[in-house]
Homo-oligomer: A and B are copies of this chain.
Amino acid sequence: MAPDLWSLYALMKMSRLFEETVTQLWQEGLISGEMHLGTGEEAIVAGVLDHVQEGDALALDHRATPALLMRGVDPVLILRELLGHEEGLCRGQGGHMHLFSHEHLAASSGIVGASGPAAAGFALAGQYLRPRAIAVAFFGEGAMNQGMLLEALNLAAVWRLPVLFVCKDDNWSITSDSSQLTGGNLCQRVEGLGVPYTVVDGTDVAAVWEAAGESIERIRDGHGPSFLHASCVHLEAHFLGYQLVRAARKPLQEVPRIARPLLKSFFRPGGASLRMRRQGLQEVLSALLTTHRDPRRSTANDPLIRARRALVSEPQRLRELEEDVEREIAAILSAVVEEGSG
């Protein structure tokens, strides 16, 4: 089977525009705390979610919005929730890292790795109550060092639970380069826990769709869990307002704020040898430079731009699709914002 690229693109576009709207609202101060977006991982979410059916369950991480949107949760409810309205998806009590939809059996968590055990539990209940239902866990590669996720992979393997574990690997956990903090190889690790894996380019929605489809079919057929390793980039880095991205975008404003105390401390008497200090300084500088030269700045890694390329041959249809999505998102925004000010 081949994916319907149009509908996948529509899902991704909706999610992207929704999150761009959220970004605006966050910038305007209408959202108070942290805000993690899924911009950049839409192809992974869309490619998987397109196979998710009634009765399936979703265990989501701190980037839950795209999956909920694509699962069909009312965007108005989500937006209200992000803004802390009492008529939001969770009556303003959950918030962006704790979005729940009972109706869709979808739960998120801000605890890194928690989607592993959650998906195992959802899948277990599915075995008793919803034949052929599956559970999907989404998490980052940083979570692959969290014990509860490793335990959950093993548990799913030995109980043959219908779980698709989806690792959205952007190689970053906040400010850390995950490759330096992860021993061995994730796929070997997972196999050593008894779970078979597939590797896919997570910026290619068609590839994800195919890989996920095959895995999910096997899972539904009762062959136990599967692991999907999908690489991606996060366009806004860890979260909105991430300091190093700000420094990369507005170096004149942000870099001195970082550099001044840094240099003062570098020259402060008492402490390590100059060599060691230089090594420390080198680490900070390379973090700054890495962010500056970030692959997320390359459009080649934007899954929407990539997916769109396959559709430009039908410019009219594409334009209509995009305008539809834009209108939809604008309508959601104006509905919610009017309420807020009303």
Q: How far is the CA of A184 from the CA of B190 in the complex (A)?
A: 8
Q: How far is the CA of A146 from the CA of B183 in the complex (A)?
A: 18
A156 to nearest B CB, angstroms?
8
> Does A146 contact B151, Cβ atoms closer than 8 Å?
yes
> Does A158 contact B186, Cβ atoms closer than 8 Å?
no
> Does B181 contact A158, Cβ atoms closer than 8 Å?
yes
> Does A195 contact B184, Cβ atoms closer than 8 Å?
yes
A157: chain B residues within 8 A (beta carbon): 183-184
Copies of this polypeptide in the complex: 2
Is the CB of A254 closer than 8 A to any CB of chain B?
no
Give the secondary structure class of A's interface: helix
Which of the four size classes fits the interface of chain A?
20 to 34
Interface string of A189-232 (1 = CB under 8 A from B): 11111110000000000000000000000000000000000000
Is the CB of A180 closer than 8 A to any CB of chain B?
yes
Is the CB of A147 closer than 8 A to any CB of chain B?
yes
Interface string of A112-151 (1 = CB under 8 A from B): 0000000000000000000000000000000001111011
Q: How far is the CA of A183 from the CA of B150 in the complex (A)?
A: 11
Is the CB of A14 closer than 8 A to any CB of chain B?
no
Knowing A188-B192, A192-B189, A192-B190, the reply to whether A158 touches B183 (Cβ < 8 A) is yes
Q: How far is the CA of A32 from the CA of B221 in the complex (A)?
A: 51
A273: chain B residues within 8 A (beta carbon): none
A187: chain B residues within 8 A (beta carbon): 192
Q: How far is the CA of A51 from the CA of B330 in the complex (A)?
A: 70
Ordered nearest first, which 8 A-B pairs have the shortest CB separation? A183-B194, A147-B147, A189-B192, A157-B183, A188-B192, A184-B194, A184-B192, A150-B150
Known contacts A145-B154, A188-B191; 8 additional CB pairs below 8 A are: A146-B147, A147-B150, A150-B151, A154-B184, A158-B180, A158-B181, A183-B193, A190-B192
* Interface, chain A (partner B; CB < 8 A): 145-148, 150-151, 153-154, 157-158, 180-195
